[in-house]
Amino acid sequence: MLKRNDPADELSLPHLAKNIDLNQNEVSFKSTPESKGILGDLMDNYSKVQIETPIRAFNENNLQQIVNNVDYGVLKVLEGTWVSYNHNGQSDRKLNGSGIHTTIMPSPGTNAGTIPGKYSFECEEYIEKLTFDLVPGGVRNRGGANEQFCGAVKYEQSIKSVNEVPGESALKYTPIHEENGMYLWLSDIFNYAANDKTIKEDRGVIPVSPLNKNKDLYKSGYQDETLFLIVNDEGNKEYVTLENLNGRQYSEIIAAKELKAGAGQTGPYFIPDYSISRSGVIPHGSTITLLGDLVSDNGYLIDKEPKFPEGDAAWKYDHLSISRTMGGAGASEAKPINLDKPAPDWVFQKLDYSTDPQENKIYTQRILAHPLYPYSVRPDLRLRDSIKGEKINNHVLIKMSSKNKTGAQGGILNVPFVNRFVSTVEMNMKMWIEAVEENGKEILQLQYEQIIFFEFDFGDDGGTTSWPHIQVNTLRKIEDVSPDQKRFIEEQFPSSRKSESSAQASGCPYHKE
């Protein structure tokens, strides 16, 4: 979990606004050489929480101040409307949409009880509008001695596929996905100890019964002490309070049933496993909860652009639309297919038993033969190619999953139809927030890779097959794209609202006018 280094300064933080040119709505490096840029100034104010990190005490008198002083963390810079962005100089290849998705579904006529593992494959370009709205005020989670105030950010996502229609010059844009949900920044934790007011108001207390044999041990008149059964110096058994235990051995305890003022001061203290959560509602009938955090690479602000593999190194099954359980296209990470070269000859041949005895090549032949190759095989290469030629000063990387290796877990719930036929079992996500310098100005850019795993049907050996559904895209704030791109997005997504540019919106990460 990350937290603000100095929560007392969050309402002013003047150094975060120094580099904002209000006339240009962008960050100017020339006017403020001491600035580290949008992300640099923001991340300077965060550090990782350790067990010895001071935890603030909660007081009801400060409730409104705490709520008003909500911390959105790095999620603050997402505020606004993001849209598909095509960088004009990135490639000689004509690409109509900034996003790529690969989707695998059961083939018509199949079912899990008969024909093994036949599937339908789609790979399309897409355009997108993704809107983030800050929820005013900290969202309070009460946990007794621990209080958490979350910075909540609503999101709405609309996606249209982009396809060429034979014989027509106009492209076809088809709505294929709508989603809404919430991101939470989970870092504001407080210690809330019991006091006389909360003890009386929240439950009320009954005086100890006059028939209680140990009534004289409860000095307050209430059962708010833990008693310990010991053998005293005379060899007799008796109960004593913790104050009088003095290190002696005890054989039984009688637990306190009432709170004392100050209970909870010594813990337990809660340190969240993760800084960020995402909850989403998918119109196919799935709801998701992902947990994750910023990735550290000598700090949470990572220098330069994100690194993506080239050549043979790109054949990593964690990012391919071809899973190991699908036969791996007859290749392996030790003997890969170089995705920066044309597809192998066998991709375009008619295969038979002699050329493909294991049926691994024919199983995935259509994926490598797709017109969008190599993106049809490894979609995040589209992200790699999208930033070629850009000057990215730095970035932050957020990784989230519904199924983490250790610790707290997210999850996915599906409606009965999805559960039965195309069970959605896992979702992993990477999000890069990048500071791009153009013409001496710095703006933000967003890239993401989202991989969802379906399970349906089975292989010839009876094993369940895992099918990756992958989405990748590159986006910018709507005010930071060209007038032509902005006009096009507003035509395709008429509800697009007017928003601030990335630089202005991220000027102060803690204060919203």
The structure's pTM equals 0.87
pLDDT at 459: 65
* 341 — pLDDT class (breaks 50, 70, 90): very high
Q: Alpha-carbon torsion 272, 277, 279, 284, what sign?
A: negative
Instruction: Name the region of 80 (left: φ>0; alpha: ψ -120 to 50; beta: rest).
Output: left
Would the pLDDT of 88 be above 90? no
Non-local (6+) Cβ contacts of 137 within 8 A are 67, 68, 70
DSSP 333: S
For residues 479, 480, 486, 492, the Cα torsion angle rounded to the nearest 10 degrees is -90
Residue 506 CB coordination number (10 Å): 29
DSSP 451: E
pLDDT at 215: 95
- How many angstroms separate the Cα of 157 from the Cα of each of 128, 132, 448? 7, 9, 13
104 vs 345: CA distance, rounded Å:
24
pLDDT at 393: 97
**Residue range 328-344: mean pLDDT, rounded:** 93
**Residue range 170-189: mean pLDDT, rounded:** 94
Non-local (6+) Cβ contacts of 307 within 8 A are none
**Residue range 312-322: mean pLDDT, rounded:** 96
**Residue range 241-251: mean pLDDT, rounded:** 96
Which helix (H) or strand (E) is 360 found in, with range? helix 360-368
74 beta partners: none
**In which residue are the tokens 């190991």 written?**
324
pLDDT at 117: 66
Would the pLDDT of 9 be above 80? no
**In which residue are the tokens 């910075």 written?**
151
DSSP annotation string for 286-302: EEEEEEEEEPPSSSSSE
**Residue range 338-350: mean pLDDT, rounded:** 95
Report percent pLDDT > 70 for the chain. 88
Would the pLDDT of 420 be above 50? yes
239 vs 237: CA distance, rounded Å:
7
Q: How many distinct helices (H) and strands (E) make up the chain?
A: 8, 22
User: In the chain, what are the domains?
Assistant: 76-191+271-497 (2.40.128.20), 204-254 (no CATH)
Residue 372 CB coordination number (10 Å): 17
175 beta partners: 160
**In which residue are the tokens 């009432």 written?**
258
98 vs 472: CA distance, rounded Å:
9
**Model confidence pLDDT, tens digit, residues 112-145:** 777 666 788 999 999 999 999 999 999 999 999 9
pLDDT at 280: 97
Would the pLDDT of 413 be above 70? yes
pLDDT at 500: 52
Would the pLDDT of 359 be above 50? yes
Return the higher-pLDDT residue of 325 and 233: 233
**Model confidence pLDDT, tens digit, residues 181-227:** 999 999 889 999 999 999 888 877 789 999 999 999 999 999 999 99
Average pLDDT, the chain: 87
Q: Are 70 and 184 in contact (CB under 8 A)?
A: no
Choose among 412, 78, 58, 447: nearest CA to 276. Answer: 78
* 17 — pLDDT class (breaks 50, 70, 90): very low
* 8 — pLDDT class (breaks 50, 70, 90): low
Strands (E), 165-296: 171-191, 227-231, 237-241, 252-254, 276-282, 286-294
pLDDT at 21: 41
Instruction: Name the region of 407 (left: φ>0; alpha: ψ -120 to 50; beta: rest).
Output: left
For residues 493, 497, 500, 506, the Cα torsion angle rounded to the nearest 10 degrees is -80
Return the higher-pLDDT residue of 151 and 325: 151
280 vs 414: CA distance, rounded Å:
12
Would the pLDDT of 461 be above 80? no
161 vs 472: CA distance, rounded Å:
13
DSSP annotation string for 241-264: EGGGTTT---SEEE---S--TTTT
**Residue range 328-352: mean pLDDT, rounded:** 93
**Model confidence pLDDT, tens digit, residues 92-111:** 555 578 999 999 988 888 87
Which helix (H) or strand (E) is 203 found in, with range? none
pLDDT at 496: 46
**Model confidence pLDDT, tens digit, residues 463-504:** 778 889 999 999 999 999 989 889 999 999 987 455 455 544
Would the pLDDT of 447 be above 80? yes
Q: Are 400 and 391 in contact (CB under 8 A)?
A: no
Return the higher-pLDDT residue of 83 and 325: 83
Q: Does the bond joining 374 to the residue before it have cis omega, within 30 degrees of 0?
A: yes
**Residue range 332-353: mean pLDDT, rounded:** 94
